[in-house]
Structure 1
Amino acid sequence: MRDQEPSPRDAERRLSTKEAAELLGVKPETVYAYVSRGQLSSRRVTGGRGSTFDAREVDALARRNRRDAAGSSPSGGELSVRTRITLIESDRYYYRGVDAVDLATRHSYEEVAEWLWTGRMRPGTTFTAPAASVAVARRAVDTLPEHAAPTDLLRVATIAAATADPLRYDLSEDAVLGTARTLIPTLVAALPPAGHDRRDEGPLAHRLWTRLSPRKDPDEASLRALDTALALLVDHDLAASTLAVRVAASARAHAYAAVSAGLGVIEGPLHGAASGLAHRLLVDVLDQGDAAPVIADELRAGRRIPGLGHRLYPGEDPRARALFALLERIPRAEPALLAARDIVETTARHAPLHANVDLALAVLTTSCGMPPTAGETIFAVARTAGWIAHALEEYGERPLRMRPSGLYAGPKPPQPLPE
């Protein structure tokens, strides 16, 4: 049934709190909550108590609420958010309607990021970090203990870079894009070197290599694999970290704060840190020379086998497939590729799960001499571009819309004061 448009009479009249609550299907106090969130405007009744509300605003909010309710999942009540950024379907995924694997294998990480942000391709684009931003980020990162995790370093670098940007509260599209193009290279520049001099110019993947691998002169195939991994991981719809970014952006937090929210979420072993678990599993298989005893030990300990399966891909993870294809061109990656295949085949005897991108990242990091945490760093740097894209999109929506209502399940009030 179509929503009815307000009549001319409705457009001219104002509603009482009770009338507004009835039209919205909420309690009167919720109407005032809408006012405090900026979703409704109110006007005090002249010479009396209470407020009145514009009938058109109330009607528009009621229609939005009905659309939002219709968009939620009927099975699990999951939040659904309209987005034009990434689509995942039929074991493939798309950035703004274009096959993401094709984009990642034909364009650099920076070019894919620009496409995600603007819908325009800028061939040859590179990101440059301002000297002042890099200096303050490095000073902040250098104060952390040696055992600090990659996300610790990146969070601190993000906050430090924010303090060096007096225009961070400007949420206009041009300003946020400017932040994105300088924040990502600043994060890479702030990371400590991996045993040799840092590289601070050229493609971002080349700069990141010097922070992750002790091998001073990487071959072109390895650098291409790293660059493609970054591009493949730019975005993946509303993953947990991306949802956190959109919540922050909905509250009109600036871009640095929104990225910091995303970095806080990816530390979980079920998200950004999953590649580190796959790396350690792969190293164990390489050491043992056989996946069977390693898989048996994992299952005996009640642990899930990392690097296998993905809830959004019943078949093969397209990101893993694309990255494995590139790794096959790197001779020194062959042992890790064989170990990964052994893991998949051994597990498939009882659970037919395909390799996901975490296992492919593990092959990349182990074969390039990188530490187990390298995959998490790659993931975080790559996904920062996607977080910025989602923050930009959320800034164009009504503020504070990412505010679900809690379903209270505690003691029924009023309860006596505790003694």
Structure 2
Amino acid sequence: MADHETDSGDGGTRRLSTREAAERLGVKPETVYAYVSRGQLTSRRAPGGRGSTFDAKEVDALARRAARREPPASGGDLAIRTGITLIDKDHCYYRGVDTAELADHYGYEEVADWLWTGTLRPGIRFTAPDEALDAARQAVAALPAHSGPMDRLRVAVVAAAAADPLRFDLSEDAVLDTARALIPVLVEALPRLDGRESREGQEGGAGRESREGRQGWESSVGREGRATDPIPLAHRLWSRLTPEPPDEASLHVLNAALVLLIDHDLASSTLAARVAASARAHPYAVVSAGFGALDGPLHGAASGLAHRMLLEVLERGSAAAVVADHLRAGHRVPGLGHRLYPGEDPRARALFRLLEDVPQAATALRAARDVAATTARHTPLHPNVDLALSVLTVSTGMATEAGETVFAVARTAGWIAHALEEYQEHPMRIRPSGHYQGPRPPRPLP
């Protein structure tokens, strides 16, 4: 029965076996079950318990949606089938759920794990393995003193990979274990800026972390099956971004920023990560590929430009002169406009709303809105997430590169989500053809 089309017994609706569903979708049977875990298909046990069956109409509808996203056979823009992020007008959704709502209600680790598995586990915490963390810290400590956070993160991921002899296991469970370990390694390999002991989990574990701002973060549910570290990743990251003590409202903004930045469809760094996954690179290499594309003023480092601009606005007391300087020099005003949103970036909208509850952010928030209002007199550009993130970094004494660090840590979870999808596809499928523009052969030997 598992290999043949069946009747459901409820009006004759046709049901397909796993093999038939995979053939209609043009994927492997394992991918069919991945669609189920992500909520894109529903399954039902076949009579006698032999395998799963799928509604033919639902499978055909998914196949039609996938076909619309597949690359055209004759060329054109590269399109990749994904069920992770949808950007629709002025909203962004993870697996159909509004990202702003997710940021309001859940921690970064909860959203990341749900994005990977399709199952929400309240209170889940990611824990860094000792061996990987020690290797990452030693590698980071060997860097020159002038090294920036992205230098440290790139080195940390390579060191963590070298410490993991099983990194080439690309089974879903192994990749998930790697992801849950790698992200806290990246955070805890960064030096602390608050002067406290740098290793959580040492002599008493998480209890040695500062308790300031922890109220409201502790999970009120039981800990069965969860990591023993009760400190959310946002709190652990805070002490790597600023020496200032955290408060609950600021931690909430940082957590929201991490959630909102997990993924944003096929940004350049995500495409790089998927290309690596298509070649069956291990998860550490996938993240390294993402870091390589992220490290630039037009992507991950864009928040640093907005940070510097806000500092200048605060120093000069007005946005008008600062905006004028940018326009006079022929430069874009940092933190404004996004090619995917005709209106305001929904991630910026969510963060600005939360920043209203951070008293020390009031001055930087007014400066950011002054920049937007001043620029709007000349061109209809709206604030993007980089401007909102810079309000947090400026108002809490963070360094210029702090926004890029937040971006990189957050997006690591998104790259893993895309890698999990890409590992289910045919390998080496992302292979665009080049359009040769050089001299016509044959030519003499140089």
> How would you bin the TM-score normalised by the shorter chain?
0.7 to 0.9
* Correspondence for 1:351: 379
User: Could you tell me which residue of structure 2 aligns to residue 409 of structure 1?
Assistant: 437
Structure 1 residue 71, shift from structure 2 partner: 3.5
**1:16-415 paired onto structure 2 within 5 Å:** 71-72=70-71, 77-197=76-196, 198=198, 200=200, 201=206, 202-215=231-244, 217-415=245-443
Gaps of 5+ in 1: 1-63
Distance 1:327 1:73 in 2: 44
- How far 1:149 sits from its partner (Å)? 2.2
CA deviation string 1:366-405 (max 9, x = no partner): 1111001000000000000000000110000000001111
Q: How far apart are the structure 2 equivalents of 1:68 and 1:221?
A: 44
Mapped to 2, the partners of 1:218 and 1:242 lie a distance apart of 31
Query: Deviations for 1:69-123, whole angstroms, at most 9, x for unmatched residues?
Result: 983489x932110001111112111111111111111100000101110111010
- Contact residue 246 and residue 258 of structure 1 kept, 8 A: yes
Paired residue type of 1:223 = L
CA distance in 1, matches of 2:341, 2:168: 38
State the structure with more CA Rg. 1
Aligned equivalents of 1:70 and 1:383: distance in 2?
23
Amino acid at match of 1:85: I
Could you tell me how far 1:291 is from its partner in structure 2? 0.4
Instruction: Tell me the distance in 2 between the aligned counterparts of 1:235 and 1:301.
Output: 32
Kept in 2, the 8 Å contact 1:199–1:207? The answer is no
1:268 deviates by: 1.1
Q: Distance in 1 between matches of 2:255 and 2:184?
A: 14
The alignment partner of 1:386 has SS state of helix
Mapped to 2, the partners of 1:404 and 1:341 lie a distance apart of 42
Q: Distance in 2 between matches of 1:348 and 1:70?
A: 35
Please, which runs of 5 or more residues in structure 2 have no aligned partner? 1-62, 201-205, 207-230
Instruction: Provide the rounded CA distance (Å) in 1 between the counterparts of 2:412 and 2:372.
Output: 30
Query: CA separation in 2, counterparts of 1:363 and 1:70?
Result: 37
CA distance in structure 2 between the aligned counterparts of 1:279 and 1:88, rounded to whole angstroms: 26
91-100 or 176-185: bigger deviation: 91-100
Q: CA RMSD in A?
A: 1.8
| 2:335–2:384 CA contact under 8 A, matched in 1 | yes
Which contiguous aligned blocks of 4+ residues in structure 1 show a shift greater than 6 angstroms? 67-70
Amino acid at match of 1:213: T
Query: 2: CA distance between counterparts of 1:314 and 1:72?
Result: 25
The one-letter amino acid of 2:381's match is L
3-state SS of 1:122 partner: coil
How far off its partner does 1:218 sit?
A: 1.2
Structure 1: distance between partners of 2:311 and 2:72:
40
Structure 1 distance, partners of 2:356, 2:77, is 39
Give the Cα–Cα distance (whole angstroms) in 1 for the partners of residues 120 and 395 of structure 2: 32
Give the Cα–Cα distance (whole angstroms) in 2 for the partners of residues 350 and 335 of structure 1.
24
Cα offset for 1:195?
3.9
The one-letter code sitting in structure 1 at the alignment partner of 2:83 is R
Give the paired residue count: 352
**Amino acid of the residue matched to residue 176 of structure 2?**
L
Answer whether contact 2:69 2:79 (CA < 8 A) is retained: no
**Partner SS for 1:94:** strand
Deviation sequence 1:9-37 (CA, Å, 0-9, x none):
xxxxxxxxxxxxxxxxxxxxxxxxxxxxx
For residue 328 of structure 1, what is the amino acid of its counterpart? E
SS at the partner of 1:243?
Answer: helix
Partner residue in 2 for 1:25? none
Which residue identity does 1:204 align to in structure 2?
L
Name the CA distance, whole Å, in 2 between partners of 1:415 and 1:260.
39
> Equivalent pairs: percent with the same residue?
67
Q: What is the CA distance between 1:163 and its match in structure 2?
A: 0.5
The code of the aligned residue for 2:120 comes to M
- In structure 1, C-alpha distance between the alignment counterparts of 2:365 and 2:263, rounded to whole Å: 25
Q: Which amino acid counterpart does residue 245 of structure 1 have in structure 2? A: A
Distance in 2 (alpha carbons) for counterparts of 1:256 and 1:157 = 10
SS across alignment from 2:92:
strand
Q: Residues 331-350 of structure 1: CA distance to partner in whole angstroms, max 9, x if unpaired?
A: 11000000000000000001
Q: Helix, strand or coil: the match of 2:252? A: helix
Contact 2:193-2:243 within 8 A present in 1 as well:
yes
Give, in whole Å, the separation in 1 of the partners of 2:145 and 2:391.
Answer: 25
Amino acid in structure 1 at the alignment position of 2:235? H
The superposition leaves residues 295-317 of structure 1 with CA deviations (integer Å, 9 ceiling, x where unpaired) of 11111222111100101110111
- Report the TM-score when normalising by structure 1: 0.82
**Letter in structure 1 aligned against 2:383:** A
Q: 1:98 to 1:69 in 2, by over 3 A?
A: closer
CA contact (8 A) 1:199 1:206 kept: no
